[in-house]
Amino acid sequence: MTERYALLSVSDKTGIVEFARGLERLGLRLLSTGGTAQALREAGLKVTDVAEHTGFPEMLDGRVKTLHPRVHGGILARRDDEAHLAALAAQGIPLIDVVAVNLYPFEQTVARPGCTLEEAIENIDIGGPAMVRAAAKNHGNEQGGVAVLTDPADYAPLLDEMHANGGRVSYATRYRLAAKAFTHTARYDAAISHYLTARTPAGETSRFPAAFQPAFDKVQDLRYGENPHQSAAFYRDPRAAAGGIAQAQQLQGKELSYNNIADADAAWECVKSFEPAADGPACVIVKHANPCGVALGENPLEAYLRAFATDPTSAFGGIIAFNVPVDAAAAQAVAAQFLEVLIAPGYTAEALKVLAAKKNVRVLRCPLGADPAQWEYKRIGGGLLVQTPDAVSFDPDQLRVVTRRQPTPEEMRDLLFVWPVAKHVKSNAIVYGKERRTVGIGAGQMSRVDSSRIAVIKARNAGLEVRGSVVASDAFFPFRDGLDVLAEAGATAVIQPGGSVRDEEVIAAADEHGLAMVFTGIRHFRH
């Protein structure tokens, strides 16, 4: 039994003709089904239908075609087991050494508007996962085994290896492909589980499935976690839209640490709150997951200098993010300070030359995508909290002025600036701002009053004037005392969600102090 077969049955036909042609040149006979077989024949390749190979026709509308001993025997026989090989020989079953299968597009099917349960069920692949799992299980050993491919990106490297090694595939490659194949089927089954456990037979649906199985790909091992005694790794969501920190490209600098990545994410998500076309250049400086300076400017340099001035002490060793490409002038100013990470959508050639002198600075480039993740996670002891992202749309026209005094146009402009900043500050969050820059930030306190006071202290320490500023609060004021602190500091306008049982008391306090106050109706807790 010298014939060797490759079985090709794919829904994604990217590169399959070229792959099949390469296998044929290596002496493998081609087995295929349905649309894949048709595509190969139209390309001039000689293909044997699985039905012809098994001597058993497809049946049940194609539900049964590859589930046959002549297929699975050729895949599952151990190449180092004489009894297995003898059994194949007795039945005239040839070996299948290469299996290229990707599955019915279940996720794409259920994502279509109006997809019915019946359509979803019909797009659950059975024969495909069976072949993939069989081939992956029998990836073998140094004596031989099956190469299984579920990703078109693996076609060309496999052909290159086979051409270089007389048609053989190394055990290391077969092992890698097998691990990838099991991951592929695991995620396929997880997608089906998510869909089915998020609905009832009657058609009622839930946003959250009864069984939850997230899937991430490891980017790298990290030297350690938050502290040196903790181990850590960095994983990426393979389905995430472009624009998140996980899609960033590191252009220079030392390896990113656990804390670097966490803080870079905080800085990047905050700076993306400001649209370059509408708001102009923005700069955000983050330290320990909190913004310590945010500002807009006519250019990146001005935005940076204004943000840095908010809290130069905290900015030391921080993470700096821009929403526009960094030019040479901004790069020179940034490089004059000690920083851990710089992130922006791009850099001029001159800026990269300036930054190259700071070899340890981690320079990241990331696209400005705005699509949020589907879910956010927080690990707790023995469980997992899952929620949708804090990505509620905000319409300034829906703001409600609740005080006698209306905000001036300048105050309203600044209120709309500090409000998205507060969203990215750990609660209880208080943000003072003036002329589209932060002048004081109070973060992560157990009391909103303390956050209000700390923000003033930090502003004064930086030599900034709080009087005449506006204030954003991420949640409502439960009592008037926090508002009294703001008024005493000289703030003139406040933006907050509202919704407290004591809103009337707080509004009365604002009127008493001559403050303008607007309610958003949106809370932005960031615990």
Structural domains in the chain (count): 3
Higher pLDDT, 527 or 332: 332
Q: Does residue 431 share a domain with residue 297?
A: no
Return the residue matching tokens 């955000």: 284
CA of residue 92 relative to chain centroid, distance: 50
| Domain-embedded: residue 426 | yes
- Residue at a domain's end among 137, 172, 197: 197
Residues 90, 91, 92, 95: is their CA dihedral positive or negative?
negative
pLDDT at 110: 82
Report yes or no: 54 and 60 within 8 Å, Cβ to Cβ.
no
Among the listed ranges 110-124, 168-182, 317-331, which one has the minimum average pLDDT value?
110-124
8-state DSSP, 451: H
Angle between helix axes 127-137 and 171-197 (nearest 10 degrees) is: 150
Catalytic entry in 84, 137, 180, 254: 137
- Residue at a domain's end among 318, 345, 365: 365
Q: Identity (one letter) of the amino acid at 18?
A: E
Q: Please, what is the average pLDDT of the chain?
A: 91
Higher pLDDT, 98 or 241: 98
Q: Does residue 290 share a domain with residue 191?
A: no
Q: Does residue 38 share a domain with residue 170?
A: yes
| C-alpha distances out from residue 124 to 6, 20, 63, 190, Å | 24, 26, 10, 12
| C-alpha distances out from residue 244 to 211, 364, 424, 441, Å | 26, 12, 15, 25
| Domain-embedded: residue 79 | yes
Query: Which residue, among 157, 156, 151, 173, has the nearest Cα to 238 in the 3D structure?
Result: 151
Q: In DSSP terms, which residues pair with 7 in a beta bridge?
A: 31, 99
- State whether residue 23 is helix, strand or coil: helix
pLDDT tops 90 at residue 207: no
Q: Does residue 423 share a domain with residue 329?
A: no
Q: Give the DSSP per-residue string, 512-524.
A: HHT-EEEE-S---
CA distance linking residue 524 with residue 110, whole number of Å: 32
| Domain-embedded: residue 210 | no
Q: Does residue 254 share a domain with residue 142?
A: no
pLDDT digits (tens, 9 = 90+) for 411-449: 999 999 999 999 999 989 999 999 999 999 999 889 999
- Domain of residue 436, CATH code: 3.40.140.20
- State whether residue 101 is helix, strand or coil: strand
pLDDT tops 60 at residue 1: no
CA distance linking residue 82 with residue 174, whole number of Å: 21
Q: Does residue 468 share a domain with residue 420?
A: yes
CA distance linking residue 347 with residue 102, whole number of Å: 39
CA distance linking residue 20 with residue 29, whole number of Å: 9
| Domain-embedded: residue 297 | yes
**Dihedral over alpha carbons 342, 345, 350, 352 (to 10 degrees):** 40
8-state DSSP, 311: -
**Counting Cβ atoms within 10 Å, is residue 158 exposed (0-12), middle (13-18) or buried (19+)?**
buried
**Counting Cβ atoms within 10 Å, is residue 409 exposed (0-12), middle (13-18) or buried (19+)?**
exposed
Among the listed ranges 73-77, 367-371, 471-475, which one has the minimum average pLDDT value?
367-371
Query: Which residue, among 329, 376, 8, has the nearest Cα to 212 in the 3D structure?
Result: 376
- Domain of residue 29, CATH code: 3.40.50.1380
pLDDT tops 90 at residue 202: no
Residues 6 or more apart in contact with residue 138 via CB below 8 angstroms: 75, 76, 77, 78, 145, 146
Return the residue matching tokens 């069976």: 130
Q: How many CA atoms lie within 13 A of 275 on its CB side?
A: 4
How, if at all, do strands 383-387 and 290-296 pair? unpaired
Q: Please state the rounded mean pLDDT for residues 166-189.
A: 93
Angle between helix axes 69-76 and 82-91 (nearest 10 degrees) is: 150
Among the listed ranges 3-7, 36-40, 123-127, 195-199, which one has the minimum average pLDDT value?
123-127
Enclosing domain of residue 53: 4-197
Q: Identity (one letter) of the amino acid at 496?
A: Q
Report yes or no: 100 and 36 within 8 Å, Cβ to Cβ.
no
Q: Which region, left, alpha or beta, applies to residue 44 given φ > 0 means left and ψ of -120 to 50 means alpha?
A: left
**Cis, peptide link before residue 299, omega less than 30° from 0:** no
Q: Does residue 495 share a domain with residue 358?
A: no
CA distance linking residue 44 with residue 72, whole number of Å: 27
pLDDT digits (tens, 9 = 90+) for 299-308: 999 999 999 9
Provide the pLDDT confidence category of residue 175 given band limits of 50, 70 and 90: very high
137: annotated active-site residue: yes
Q: Does residue 168 share a domain with residue 105?
A: yes
pLDDT digits (tens, 9 = 90+) for 486-506: 999 999 999 999 999 999 999
Q: Please state the rounded mean pLDDT for residues 349-377.
A: 89
Q: Identity (one letter) of the amino acid at 5?
A: Y
Q: Give the DSSP per-residue string, 480-503.
A: SHHHHHHHHHT--EEEE----TTH
Q: Does residue 358 share a domain with residue 430?
A: no
Neighbours of 521 (CB within 10 A): 12
| C-alpha distances out from residue 45 to 24, 82, 192, Å | 8, 33, 35
Residues 6 or more apart in contact with residue 365 via CB below 8 angstroms: 248, 249, 251, 343, 344, 345, 346, 347
Is pTM beyond 0.75 here? yes
Q: Does residue 146 share a domain with residue 41?
A: yes
Report yes or no: 84 and 56 within 8 Å, Cβ to Cβ.
no
CA distance linking residue 131 with residue 306, whole number of Å: 61
Q: Does residue 283 share a domain with residue 141?
A: no
Q: Please state the rounded mean pLDDT for residues 149-154.
A: 94
Residues 241, 244, 249, 255: is their CA dihedral positive or negative?
negative
8-state DSSP, 471: E
pLDDT digits (tens, 9 = 90+) for 50-97: 777 876 777 666 666 667 888 888 888 888 888 888 888 888 889 999
pLDDT at 464: 94
Q: Which tokens hold the place of 222?
A: 């990290």
% of the chain with per-residue pLDDT over 70: 97
| Domain-embedded: residue 344 | yes
Q: Does residue 337 share a domain with residue 252?
A: yes
pLDDT tops 60 at residue 329: yes
Q: Please state the rounded mean pLDDT for residues 99-114.
A: 84
| Domain-embedded: residue 221 | no
| Domain-embedded: residue 374 | no
pLDDT at 423: 94
| Domain-embedded: residue 213 | no
pLDDT at 371: 64
